[in-house]
Amino acid sequence: MNPRRKQRLIAVSSILVLLSGGVGAMLYALNENVDLFYTPSQLVDGLGEDKNKPVVGQRLRIGGMVVKGSVRRDEHSLKVSFDLVDTGPIVTVHYDGILPDLFREGQGIVAQGTLLNATTIEATEVLAKHDENYMPPEVAEAMKGIKHVPPKQTYSAETP
Amino acid sequence: MIAELGHLALCFALAISLVLAIFPLYGSYKGAAGPVLLARPLAILLFLLTSVAFGALCYSFWSNDFTVLNVASNSNSMLPWYYRMTAVWGSHEGSMLLWVLMLSGWTAAVALLSNSLPLILQGRILGVLGIINVGFYGFVLFMSNPFERTLPFFPVDGRDLNPLLQDFGMIIHPPLLYMGYVGFAVSFAFAIAALLGGRFDSNWARWARPWTLAAWLFLTLGIMLGSWWAYLELGWGGWWFWDPVENASLMPWLVGTALIHSLAVTEKRGTFKSWTVLLAIAAFSLSLLGAFLVRSGVLVSVHAFATDPSRGLFLLFFLLVVVGGSLLLYGVRMHAVRSQARYQLFSREVLLWGNNIFLLTATLVVFLGTLYPLFHKELGLGSISIGEPFFNSIFQYLAIPFALLLGLGPWVRWKQQQWQPLLKPLSMVLVAALVLAVGVLSLYQTPSANLALLGLILGAWVAVSTVGEIQQKAVQLGGVPGLFKLQASHWGMVLGHLGFAMLVVGIAMTKTFSVEKDVRMKIGDSVELNGYTFLLSDVYALNGPNYGGQAAELEVFAHGEKLTHLHAEKRFYPVTRSVMTEAAVDARLSRDLYVALGEELSGPSWALRVYVKPYVRWIWLGAILMALGGLVSLGDKRYRRKTAAVTSPQSSAATGAPADA
């Protein structure tokens, strides 16, 4: 091998090593920072086919509709708690801070936080989208055929 | 009637763009001058027709013509006239019309300013732009017609513009951003035209450079305004959220930044040719990817327009055609291109190569972080979101080597550089930077190894080395008057690098020293934050033209003296039934005081969010300085040299340009 080629080989292989190392580190960092999304029923029953339930202390996102009449405020601070629901089970969210402009009872919201116990979440951030009909897409999917689809359609969907 | 006129103009524009896509390319292939000569008038006609269409939509908004669906769903008779005008591009349909207006504008600008280019190259560039135009005019006409009518049952009044968009920043943010996105179409067209012709010389790079710089500078300003708008309007006091749509604009910016540096090498040294072409293709493809992400609704984001899968499919198809077609052409044509220039391991070429590597790694990070949730969901693994720490930590690590190389770059010669002559000046720069960084930090705290120290060191290193290099140039050129001999593009580089230094310092200082407090306050209550006392003096009902709500008055004291007065609003827009926060900001170069009014609680008391954010202005000022650098570079005399058209040297390695980029 002539020196020129050898130099190139070294250059190319060192780039490849650096690149794969970089991509590997990136994917590792990515996995460290992934927050799974749950709906209240997924949180209680488990997610996916394996029925994976989150462990206490895990960082996660939860999306659901705020249960009417469930918002309880502390008299002297900004502490607030409310219940979320999609198709059945209810999950309670605790939050200390300012709720977003469009937070209202009966509306869809997404909260980011950690799991305190099986049905309670301590939120670090509460998001509501700037749209009065907003429902987190995942919640809309879970609620399909339960509330918004007329019974006739549900029936015809079931008959082959 | 007016709306139909606009629609008709758009139909004609599609036809014109089809002709533009076919004839000039055919002419340049056959070597016939006739069809190629058609290109310039066609491009100008295209722009005029689109202006007519855009004007028609503006008129419909101006005159509150609610028989036009777009007006009915995005405007309201109570909306002030200036927001009625910005409502033109507040919706998906209207913003696509703005997009094609910009695209035809760039096409016409290329037609008008390309006198000095060889005729055949003009034909190819305008032909490629024609193809891109066909795609977008087709999209506008068939997928998102802005002139659709609500007849016969038209509403009495409109549904009003999204209150989030009723802001000054919003008036200019989308046009600037689109100018940037679409501008990369011109760089792309230059690259494809060169691939078709198989000729890459330094002339080609010199012609492509100003267009790329212009697109890049618009994109820089657009992103900066978007960040500023989010800071003011979203009420969270944040300036960057790693939102998918922000990421979609950051990716072409990062690649565009790599491209302007790589073009410099191609122009000065005649090397990096295939790399430059690839970057030009990538920058435009990422712009298209951004359009796809925003408009298809595949990603959940504050920005996302109403979702329509068929639109997404159209854009995805167009994206695949553009990427696939150009990469195929690249594969077929590029093997013939060789770079003659040789360079040593320690040379400016290699440093710029490093610049490109880090910028592309950053792009890859953003790309993965943005699209990973999408793949995760499509593979049935559940919905996920990527946390901010992912982007923040990786960008922090990437910034270190990037800034070190950046400070070094301008000192190093093309081709090869010896270590010894640089040791003395650079160690002086390093010492000065360290002293400066630690000195500034000690004003705020006892210096410790944190993000602020890192940011200050990197920023000071880049800034001091940039200034030091200018000082060295002054010595070489015989004093300060000699500096006038430097090319405009050199000054552009200096400004751009200083802007980057400012940006880094701003980010690091804001991230480290920002303090935030959510408080519950009654009238007369006060809260202390970082030596500032915020006193809530009054809250009263608001009465705006198309909104109501509440406003809070606050007095700010520092060291017992009254410093300033803040006025924060929480607006309620009855038509869209939505609530908006108008934050109160007292801006200084060294810090922002920021108050957002939250909801009314029992008592009566109010939730308030109070921030002190040091150096947050530096982020946007840095971006403006970078854009200014682009503007100054554009003024370089050599981009306007006419003689270039006559001579067409095949090789460029011989151009012995002075050692600056």
pLDDT of residue B282: 96
In a domain, B210, yes or no: yes
pLDDT of residue A58: 85
A36-149: which CATH number, 3.40.640.10, 2.40.290.10, 2.40.50.140, 1.10.645.10?
A: 2.40.50.140
**What are the b/e assignments for B452-480, b being 16+ CB within 10 Å?**
bbbbbbbbbbbbbbbbbbbeebeeeeeee
CA nearest neighbour of A48 among B601, B285, B383, B551: B383
Residues of A in contact with B579 (CB under 8 A): 101-102
CA angle B172, B178, B182 (to 5 degrees): 150
| Whether residue B146 is found in the same domain as residue B183 | no
Average pLDDT over residues B325-347: 83
CA dihedral B377, B381, B383, B384 (to 10 degrees): -110
Q: Give the per-residue SS3 of A123-141.
A: EEEEECCCCCCCCCHHHHH
pLDDT surpasses 90 at B352: yes
Give the minimum alpha-carbon distance from A37 to chain B in angstroms, rounded to a whole number. 5
B604-647 pLDDT per residue, tens: 899 999 999 999 999 999 999 999 999 999 998 888 765 444 43
| Whether residue B297 is found in the same domain as residue B385 | yes
| Whether residue B194 is found in the same domain as residue B125 | no
B421-430 pLDDT per residue, tens: 889 999 999 9
- B261's tokens: 């540096």
Of B161, B187, B206, the last residue of a domain is B161
Contacts of B506 (CB under 8 A, 6+ apart): B615, B616, B617, B618, B619, B620, B621, B622
pLDDT band at residue A6 using 50, 70 and 90 as cut-offs: confident
Across the interface, whether the CB atoms of B576 and A132 are under 8 A apart is answered yes
Q: Residue A159 gets which letter from DSSP?
A: -
- B357's tokens: 């590597």
More confident residue, A141 or B652: A141
- B14's tokens: 């599609």
Interchain CB contact of A99 with B (< 8 Å): yes
- Smallest Cβ–Cβ distance between B581 and the set A34, A97, A101 belongs to A101
- B514's tokens: 């920002």
Residues of A in contact with B296 (CB under 8 A): none
Q: How far apart are CA B402 and CA B266, in angstroms?
A: 21
A31-64 pLDDT per residue, tens: 788 888 888 888 888 877 777 788 888 888 888 8
Average pLDDT over residues B277-283: 95
| Whether residue B208 is found in the same domain as residue B83 | no
| Whether residue B77 is found in the same domain as residue B221 | no
Give the minimum alpha-carbon distance from A35 to chain B in angstroms, rounded to a whole number. 5
In a domain, B276, yes or no: yes
pLDDT of residue B625: 97
Q: How far apart are CA B438 and CA A34, in angstroms?
A: 36
CA nearest neighbour of B319 among B294, B288, B295, B290: B288
Average pLDDT over residues B37-61: 95
Please report, rounded to a whole number, the percentage of residues in chain B having pLDDT higher than 70.
95
pLDDT of residue A80: 92
- B209's tokens: 């450079």
| Whether residue B23 is found in the same domain as residue B132 | yes
pLDDT of residue A140: 59
pLDDT band at residue B502 using 50, 70 and 90 as cut-offs: very high
pLDDT surpasses 50 at B258: yes
Across the interface, whether the CB atoms of B520 and A96 are under 8 A apart is answered no
Q: How far apart are CA B151 and CA B135, in angstroms?
A: 29
| Helix runs in B31-90, H state only | 33-62, 69-74, 81-86
A120-156 pLDDT per residue, tens: 999 988 887 654 444 555 555 655 544 333 333 333 3
| Whether residue B192 is found in the same domain as residue B157 | no
Q: Which residue of B has its CA nearest to A139?
A: B383
pLDDT of residue A129: 60
Rg (CA), chain B: 27
In a domain, B452, yes or no: no
In a domain, B361, yes or no: yes
Give the minimum alpha-carbon distance from B331 to chain A in angstroms, rounded to a whole number. 20
**What are the b/e assignments for B427-442, b being 16+ CB within 10 Å?**
eebbebbbebbeebbe
Rg (CA), chain A: 23
Q: How far apart are CA B98 and CA B110, in angstroms?
A: 18
Across the interface, whether the CB atoms of A59 and B387 are under 8 A apart is answered yes
Interchain CB contact of A27 with B (< 8 Å): yes
Out of B44-53, B252-261, B375-384, pick the least confident.
B375-384
Average pLDDT over residues B484-503: 94
Q: Give the per-residue SS3 of B158-221.
A: CCCCCHHHCCHHHHHHHHHHHHHHHHHHHHHHHHHHHHHHCCCCHHHHHHHHHHHHHHHHHHHH
Interchain CB contact of A101 with B (< 8 Å): yes
| Whether residue B8 is found in the same domain as residue B122 | yes
Cβ B150 vs Cβ B203: under 8 Å: no
Interchain CB contact of A106 with B (< 8 Å): no
pLDDT surpasses 60 at A159: no
Of B378, B410, B442, the last residue of a domain is B410
In a domain, B506, yes or no: no
pLDDT of residue B484: 84
Q: How far apart are CA B565 and CA B136, in angstroms?
A: 49
B359-411 pLDDT per residue, tens: 999 999 999 898 888 888 778 777 788 878 889 988 998 999 999 999 999 99
Interface predicted TM-score (ipTM) over 0.90? no
Average pLDDT over residues B241-262: 92
Cβ B39 vs Cβ B127: under 8 Å: yes
Across the interface, whether the CB atoms of A101 and B580 are under 8 A apart is answered yes
Q: Tell whether omega for the bond before B447 is within 30 degrees of 0, i.e. cis.
A: no
pLDDT of residue B444: 82
| Whether residue B143 is found in the same domain as residue B210 | no
Q: What is the DSSP string of B456-484?
A: HHHHHHHHHHHHHHHHHHHHHTTSGGGGG
Out of B516-525, B599-608, B651-660, pick the least confident.
B651-660
Interchain CB contact of A50 with B (< 8 Å): no
pLDDT of residue B272: 87
Across the interface, whether the CB atoms of A29 and B393 are under 8 A apart is answered yes
Task: Please give the mean pLDDT across all residues of chain B.
Answer: 88
Q: What is the DSSP string of B10-41?
A: HHHHHHHHHHHHHHHHHHHHHT-HHHHHHHHH
Give the minimum alpha-carbon distance from B317 to chain A in angstroms, rounded to a whole number. 24
Give the minimum alpha-carbon distance from B547 to chain A in angstroms, rounded to a whole number. 15
Q: How far apart are CA B239 and CA B230, in angstroms?
A: 6
Across the interface, whether the CB atoms of B598 and A98 are under 8 A apart is answered yes
| Whether residue B589 is found in the same domain as residue B538 | yes
| Whether residue B144 is found in the same domain as residue B197 | no
pLDDT of residue B342: 80
pLDDT surpasses 50 at B649: no
Residue ranges of the domains in chain A?
Answer: 1-34, 36-149
Q: How far apart are CA B648 and CA B203, in angstroms?
A: 8
Contacts of A137 (CB under 8 A, 6+ apart): B300
More confident residue, B564 or A146: B564
Percentage helix, strand, coil, to 5, in chain B?
A: 65, 10, 25
| Whether residue B148 is found in the same domain as residue B214 | no
Across the interface, whether the CB atoms of A47 and B302 are under 8 A apart is answered no
Average pLDDT over residues B324-331: 93
pLDDT surpasses 50 at B73: yes
| Tally of structural domains, chain B | 3
Residues of A in contact with B389 (CB under 8 A): 32-33
pLDDT of residue B241: 85
For B304, the domain range is 178-334+345-410
